[in-house]
Amino acid sequence: MSLAREGLHGKIALVTGGSRGIGAATCRALAAAGARVVVNYRESKDAAADLADEIGGIEIMADVADHDQVQAMVDQVLADLGGLDILVNNAGIAHDSLIYDMRPGDWSRVMATNFGGVFNATSAVLPHFMARGAGVIVNVSSVMGERGWIGQANYAASKGAINAFTRACAMETARFGIRVNAVLPGFCPTDLVGALPEKDIHKQIPMRALADPEQVASVIRFLAGPGAGYVTGSLVTVDGGAMTALGLGRAR
């Protein structure tokens, strides 16, 4: 057994929005490191079931924007698996529009899922984590939460809120043995990025390439494990240098 596998062996992890993209890559990475993984999904039942079968986990449906559904999901995990060690808040959506064309529903849906989902899942797991004196939360945010992007005011605002929430939650829960960090991916080949012209995206990235979901997942796995035992309240960018270039022009 490798050291990496020993790091999460016997741990139980819940990944919201785990059926595809970064979420699916994270489920595979945590399982490869020895964790028993719960794959949360909202609509992609078949994909979640196939992934759970592949990694030896289980799948549970819940809309993270609905607090009662999230609480029921966490209660089911605790009842069926006997505990929970790691929460990865990954679920997210986008409804892009310029601010002056944005409908109130597009604003509220993105905020309710992206940021509300983080609060709902975090508040649901904290009593268990606090009682046992340990727990890890990794929030999947975005570099857009730090820099913003034209046509994504709602998405950027939701991710900026996650970043602030991550730091506040880390400060409040450290005394209970709980670590809270966020990963800020740049552009990844996911459904949320698929509508953007790839050649235009590359101009914004010094490394001239999109990130693989697996590269983001490997950072999440590190933050979830004992190697990051002294890391909390951190916002970790995985962006090919995009944060150094966005809004400042592109490298020549």
pLDDT band per the 50, 70, 90 thresholds, residue 18: very high
Q: Which of 28, 33, 31, 29 is nearest to 5 (CA)?
A: 33
CB 180 within 8 A of CB 169: yes
**Residue 180 to residue 145: CA distance in whole angstroms:** 17
In this predicted structure, what is the pLDDT of residue 241? Answer: 56
Report whether pLDDT(123) > 50.
Answer: yes
Model confidence at 207, pLDDT cuts 50, 70, 90, reads: low
User: What's the pLDDT at 186?
Assistant: 82
Residue 244 forms part of a structural domain: no
Catalytic residues: 155
Question: Which structure tokens are listed for 235?
Answer: 């916002």
Q: Which residues pair with 13 in a beta bridge?
A: 37, 86
How much is the pLDDT for 252? 42
CATH at residue 42: 3.40.50.720
- Where does the chain have alpha helices with state H? 3-6, 21-32, 45-55, 67-81, 104-110, 116-132, 144-147, 153-173, 198-202, 213-224
| Mean pLDDT confidence for 27-45 | 97
3-class SS shares of the chain: helix, strand, coil, % to 5? 50, 15, 35
**pLDDT (average), residues 158-180:** 99
Distance CA 248, CA 66 (A): 39
Task: Look at residue 202 and tell me if it is in a domain.
Answer: yes
Contacts of 230 (CB under 8 A, 6+ apart): none
pLDDT, averaged across the chain: 89
- What proportion of the chain, given as a percentage, has pLDDT over 90? 77
Domain that holds residue 180: 3-238
Candidates 162, 172, 10, 22; CA nearest to 81 is 10
User: Is 134 within a domain?
Assistant: yes
Residue 153 pLDDT > 50: yes
- Would residue 108 be called left, alpha or beta, if left means φ above 0 and alpha means ψ between -120 and 50 degrees? alpha
In a domain, 252, yes or no: no
Burial of 46 per CB tally in 10 Å (0-12, 13-18, 19+): exposed
Number of structural domains (the chain) is 1
Q: How many CB atoms lie within 10 A of CB 168?
A: 12
Among the ranges given (59-63, 113-117, 207-211, 231-235), the one the predictor scored with the smallest mean pLDDT: 207-211
Q: Is there a domain that residue 115 lies in?
A: yes
Residue scoring higher pLDDT (181 or 145) = 181
Q: How many CB atoms lie within 10 A of CB 218?
A: 18
Q: Is residue 250 part of a domain?
A: no
Q: Tokens 């020895």 — which residue?
A: 34
Mean pLDDT confidence for 64-93: 98
Instruction: Note whether residue 45 is domain-resident.
Output: yes
Query: What does each C-alpha distance from 139 to 3, 14, 70, 76, 216 come to in angstroms?
Result: 24, 12, 16, 21, 12
pTM: 0.89
Mean pLDDT is highest, among 88-102, 142-156, 189-203, for 88-102
